[in-house]
Amino acid sequence: MTDGFSNGIPAQRSCPNGKRVLLVDDCGELSCLTATLQERGSEVYRCDSYAEGLHQLESRPFDFLVVCQGGPQFQGKPVLERAIEIDRRMPVVVVTRCLNMKCYVDAMHLGALDYLESPQASVEIARLIETHSRPQGAAASV
């Protein structure tokens, strides 16, 4: 990755009062979001592949998930589906470079909180995280 973060390694190591956010960014759409979230106190984990995103979901709890749509075939869909299987209350936002009504409908039916177009999505996602994520340390539901 060009921003110096390794797969699944927190971009910010300690964040006692912040939210633990997983960014699954297969297409490089979310690079500006990391700094915005860190400035607002979130602990950010970035993955540059959907496979790594799935692995991270299995490895530790997150308060919020942001996943890149990936393309017209909605390559990020398995990550969204698995996140909802793990914790149906986990807020998930799907971000896309190019709006697609079928992907939008799929994401919303699967349980996504929102479906946003990048790059304008950064401030909106930060607001959604502050508004909708669970308090840190809250137990995940099965």
Residue ranges per structural domain of the chain: 20-132
Q: What is the CA radius of gyration of the chain?
A: 13
Per-residue pLDDT of the chain (142 residues; tens, 9 = 90+): 333 344 444 444 444 457 899 999 887 777 778 888 888 889 999 999 999 999 999 999 999 999 999 888 899 999 999 999 999 999 999 998 888 999 999 999 999 999 998 766 777 888 888 887 655 455 444 4
pLDDT computed for residue 8 by the predictor:
47
Q: 30, 95 in Cβ contact below 8 A?
A: yes
CATH class of the domain at 20-132: alpha beta
d(CA 26, CA 30): 9
Q: Which helix (H) or strand (E) holds 64?
A: strand 64-68
Residue showing tokens 């930060």: 126
